[in-house]
Structure formats: C-alpha cells, structure tokens
Structure 1
C-alpha cells in the first residue's frame, strides 16, 4: 500500500466526481439541478467536518449502508441476505424503530457522512423510515429497491424530496431478471420505471454482475433499454457468493477488467448518465473500504457491521453512538490489521477472509 495514500482526499474527490456527473445527468431536469447544487454545498461542508475529525486521528467514512428491514416480498435466487439470515419471512423482531433510524441519520449528518444507502430486505416496506430520511436534505439517500412496490404515495414522496433516489434492482433482460427474481417481475420494473420517467423523477438501476451475465449487462442493447426508460444512474454490483457452491458465479479478474474498460466507453457514449461500480478496483483506494475506512453497515437490528457481505458485529447502535461504533474492537482490528489491504483475487476481500473475521469475534468473546 502506498504510504502517501490519503483516503479522505480520495473519497472527497470521489464525492465531487459523483455530484458533477449527477448534475450533468440531470441537465434536462431543473428541479433536480436545483437540489444537486444545494447538495453540492452540503457535501463540501461534510468534507470539512470529516477533515476536522481526520486531524484528530479519527477517520469518518463518506458512506453508510443501512438495512432498514429484514423483510422482503420476493425470493430471489442466490439472495445473499436470505443466505446469511439477515432477511426472512418471519415477522420482524427487535428492529430499529423509525425514531431510532432518525437519530442515526442525525448523528451521520453531524459526522459529515454524505451518502446513506437504504437497503433491506425490501426498504419500501419501511415507509416510516424513508419519511424520516426526507428530514435530512444534507444527505443523499439512494434506496436499493426491487421496484415492485412503487405506488402513488411514493411517487409523490420522491417528487417532493429529491434527496431520496430510487435505485431499481434488475438482472438484465426479461428472461434473465425473471429467472432470478420471479415470473412477471421484469414487467413490473418496466412499469415502475415508466411511471418515474413520466413524473420526471430521477432514478437509477442496480445491476448485479456475475461471470455469466456481464456481457449482456454492458451491451448497447441493454443500456439503450435503460436509457429509453429514463434511467440516469447505473450501479454495477459485483455478485458475492452465498456459499462455496456458488463461487463459480463470482466474477474473476477478466470480468472486472472487462467492466472497467467498458465503464470508460459507457461514460463517453452516454454522457447524461452516471455509471458507478462496487466494489470496483480496491487497489486505487488502498484496499477494501469496509469497516469504516470508506463505509460501514448498520443492520436492521442496529448491529454495526464491516459491510453487508460481512455480517459480523460486536457493537449495537442501540447502546452506543455511531462514532463509538466506528471504533469498535472489530472495526479497529480490521482497519489496523492486514485483512483489508490483503492481496487477493479481487471482489469482496472480507468474504474471502470470513474465517479470520469470525476468529476475531470469537477472541473478543473469550477475553
């Protein structure tokens, strides 16, 4: 790892890049442009807050991922959340209330966190939490949704509160999407996208790429389909295996390089769309950004976890502050050790080292 690497500068520059591209992608939407210019000022203020913490030796991440519910109305093949029991059909219990999430959002704002991803389960099942998020225009809230629960109330909410941006999960064309998410889901997603386009609501798409589907996802035919539906933001999310048996679906370096090359092409060909990838090339960021280096995860029960793909926690925000959670024993050991910057095949380094993370937690319990 380069000793001169400054993660705060890297992330601050990344935020500015995202905002500039988002403004460019919204050039025909005056309401969105107005909001993004305001948010740009908020983001600069947030950067200053994080830099002040950094001067005192405390790194504050730009991103927080919040899984606001453990419930979902779909049963997608290979769902990581269901595989690790963070999502189920059981009635939710001990989940954070809307008021508790509001307190987390407030603390995040005061720490200089600019982006909070709302995930699940299916986050649109928690309208109470999403309404709390509208009280924080200083923070951008992408909602990663399966897109099947959009209704008139949500259309009005998204139209009025531009800091809430729906990101619809889609696997590719109708055949590929329905094979994983269920028959008829693709047509529901198209209907939802058309509704948002007609109502001038900025929305995005989340594309989970595997070893087998990446070529179709980056094809001109598919991207043109998203473009025509009004999609302005595209996230390429690398598939994380749910167990050893699904490793063959995980992308290799060949797929990652293919995506990287095509991201440059897509950004040039579709200059009014925003293309992002996760986790992307970790080497440019000095290693994995989990455990509070660049982001961390709060599960639906309040447990602070390194990331959704590493569902381990030794501290709960019901009992402590976000700042204290960032300094949990688990997070500090991961950041100070070599796991996050370990040379590996790419993709999710914490999934590759899950046994070591489990051993760390076990050691904490035995002390």
Structure 2
C-alpha cells in the first residue's frame, strides 16, 4: 500500500492527507481522550449532511431527498467548522442527500485548508472540472458509492443508468489523481457481487486507494428490511475485510469493530455525532431525533458538552448492546426520545411512527464470533484512534443484552447458541 501511495498519488495531496487527517486527526482523538478524563465531551469527528436533495431515490434511504431543498448555508458551515477546529477537530465527513448538489460546497471547503473532508457521493455531479478543483484544493477525498451491477444499481438507487454515471465520475477523480475511495452499502442483492476479491482487484487496478463496506441499515419511511444481511453474512463481511487488509494493497475502512474484533457503535462511544441539513444535532445519521442545533446561540462546545439528550443516548446505547441500538433495541431509542421530548428532525414528520414500527434484528454484535485484525498496522491504529474509549467498560453488562436474532436470521454455526450460553454464564 505504501508503494501505491508513493507511485500513484499527487505528493502534495498525500502530504495534505498525512498532515490534516493523519497527524492532526490523531491529535483530535488524543484531545477527545483528555476531555473524557476531565468529564467534558466533544466528538473528534463530525458527520455533516449539508443538503437534503439528491438526484437518486435509493431503497431504504432515510433522508428527505424529495422534500423542499434545505441546506446549511456557508456562514453557518464556516462557524461550525471553525468552532470544531478550535476543539481540535480536523477531519469531517460530508454527506447529503448528494453533497455536490450544494452550490457552494467546494467554495466552503476551500476556506478550510487546515481541515480534511471526506465527501460521500454518488459521483454523478463530478465532472473533469470538479475533479480538477478538488485536486487543486487538496483537502478533499471523494468516497463514491457503488451499489452493485448495472441492474442491481438501478434497482437499489431508483433510476436508470446509475452505474455508468457513477463510474464516469470515479474515473474523472482517478484521472486527476484525487485521493479517491469507493464505498458500498452491503445488502443481500449486492453481497455476492461486490464482497469479492475480483471486485477489490478491479478497484486496485483502476487506482482506487481505499474502500468502505457499510452494512445496510433498514430504516426510514421505506426501510426494506428484506435487504438486511443475516448474521452469517455480516460475519463473512467482517472476515473478508480483515483478510483483504492483510493481503491486498488497498485501505479498507470500517466503523463497527475494534482491533480485537469486538463490535462497537461510533455514536455510542462518542467518536462521532451528526449534523442534519436543518442544523439539528443528532446521535448519528440514521437517528433522526434532536434536542439541539448548530443554530443555537451557545458555542458548539457548550451545546455538545451540556446536551442531556446526547449524553443519555450514549449511555443507553452502550448499556444495551455493543451493536446498533436502532436495529437491536428500537424500543429503547423511542423511550429515550419520548423521555427527552426530542423533536422529529425529518421534513416528513413521521420518525416516531417509523421507529415504533421497527422490529428488532441483529446488527454487528455477535458475541463469541469476534474476528480480530490480522494486520499489525490496523491493530495499532485502532488501539490508538478507534476503540470504545471506555464506554462499554463503564456501561455494558453482557447479562443485560438481549439476543434479537430472529428465526429468519438463524446462525449457520451449529455451536453458536451453545457458545453464547457459555459466554452468558461467565
């Protein structure tokens, strides 16, 4: 991987990545750890959905993409980014909708050369001119989503000719030597096509530097629960990621496991929270409840540090599971929102009903089936920068965890239930 970075990249962009995301990103995590010891809180990484609009209509999307366009205005973005940088933050995830539909996107990011931005995009609005601008700025990495073959992509994303337009945007980035990644929301319809050595080898051959396999979360007004992976498929995905990291020259990102393969939730651990296009501060992108906003008069550090709702969310989530509380215990999430009088932060105004209708299902937490990192580099990086920051040691008690595997999700491992009982007995 080091050879690829040295030979296939623009060295100025590589330096920006190393300094803004690497060195300064590490500092932000260390400051986060220090704050926690002092009883203070500010997440070292923020997801920012700066616009709700999108040209696609993906299955299971929770964003109000068809509603009246709402975007975070440049002045509010600058204020938020500057206040976060004052707290030591340097790395931000930019989401939508489709971020490139925000007319001031690149102009805003250009004003923050001391930060690094990962833009989650379908790639359809990336032209050669846009790619050249990103290369000139040097502080942006587009993460372009590919959801399957031509047929599956059209089915998953609600439009025709989706994949070819995505691949064209990807190629513009690669031609201009922009630090580029490809992500996939793994579900049952793309699992066999994209979780393969052949697909990863193709990405490497194209010049893609990193990939990220999300796991599909069936939430939103059209949740499509039939697309969700089974526990066996989730474990296969984890094993695949661990193996690829140790054997192929491409970076593989994940947000669900620590160095020892123990499951975690980045929102429950306090590693990240989410800002909606309306400025609402939510626990994570798929949890559309909020009590505070970036438009509050208080400084952002006070908003995060004093939020009883976010504090109670982190504690409730960490007490109930090492996985995803939305999938496993939507009842607890609903109780939390009702107890705090949290607002529905959607435009459609139906989030309470949607969460009430969710049925419990498994997430990334599979006790007894932990798959530790094989790569020494990932083990070290995760132990330093991506772990539970003590959240589960403080709050989680295994005997209180509810195994929510349904009949349709039965474990393939015949010794799984016995192994689980042995863990519970200890």
Residue number among 143, 153, 178 corresponding to 1:167 in the alignment: 143
Q: Give the corresponding residue for 2:13.
A: 32
> C-alpha separation between the residues in 1 aligned to 2:77 and 2:334?
27
1:173/1:222 contact within 8 Å kept: no
Report deviation, 1:134.
2.7
Residue number among 134, 151, 154 corresponding to 1:178 in the alignment: 154
Q: Give the corresponding residue for 1:332.
A: 311
Report deviation, 1:135.
2.6
SS in 2 for 1:340: helix
**Distance change >3 Å, CA 31–CA 363, structure 1 → 2:** same
Residue number among 201, 206, 217 corresponding to 1:229 in the alignment: 206
> C-alpha separation between the residues in 2 aligned to 1:245 and 1:69?
21
1:235/1:275 contact within 8 Å kept: yes
Larger C-alpha radius of gyration, 1 or 2?
2
Report deviation, 1:283.
8.5
Report deviation, 1:25.
5.1
Unaligned stretches of 5+ in structure 2? 343-426
Residue number among 272, 279, 295 corresponding to 1:295 in the alignment: 272
**Distance change >3 Å, CA 235–CA 197, structure 1 → 2:** same
Report deviation, 1:365.
3.3
Structure 2 counterparts to residues 3-18 of structure 1, below 5 A: none
Report deviation, 1:32.
2.7
Q: Give the corresponding residue for 2:224.
A: 246
- How many positions carry a matched residue from both structures? 335
After superposing the two structures, state which structure 1 stretch, 38-47 or 151-160, moved more: 38-47
Q: Give the corresponding residue for 2:419.
A: none
Report deviation, 1:46.
2.7
Which deviations, in whole Å up to 9, do the C-alpha atoms of 1:170-208 show, x marking residues without a partner? 112222212222221111112112222221112111100
Coordinate RMSD, CA, aligned: 2.6
1:70/1:121 contact within 8 Å kept: yes
Unaligned stretches of 5+ in structure 1? 1-20, 82-86
**Distance change >3 Å, CA 286–CA 79, structure 1 → 2:** closer
Report deviation, 1:274.
0.8
> C-alpha separation between the residues in 2 aligned to 1:354 and 1:282?
27
Q: Give the corresponding residue for 1:265.
A: 243
Q: Give the corresponding residue for 2:55.
A: 73
**Distance change >3 Å, CA 214–CA 294, structure 1 → 2:** same
**Distance change >3 Å, CA 156–CA 252, structure 1 → 2:** same
Structure 2 counterparts to residues 1-367 of structure 1, below 5 A: 26-28=5-7, 29=9, 30-39=11-20, 40-81=22-63, 87-93=64-70, 95-181=71-157, 182-242=159-219, 246-271=224-249, 273-280=250-257, 287-290=264-267, 293-319=270-296, 320-326=298-304, 327-337=306-316, 339-343=317-321, 346=323, 348-365=324-341
Q: TM-score scaled by structure 2?
A: 0.72
**Distance change >3 Å, CA 65–CA 213, structure 1 → 2:** same
**Distance change >3 Å, CA 288–CA 34, structure 1 → 2:** closer
2:48/2:95 contact within 8 Å kept: yes
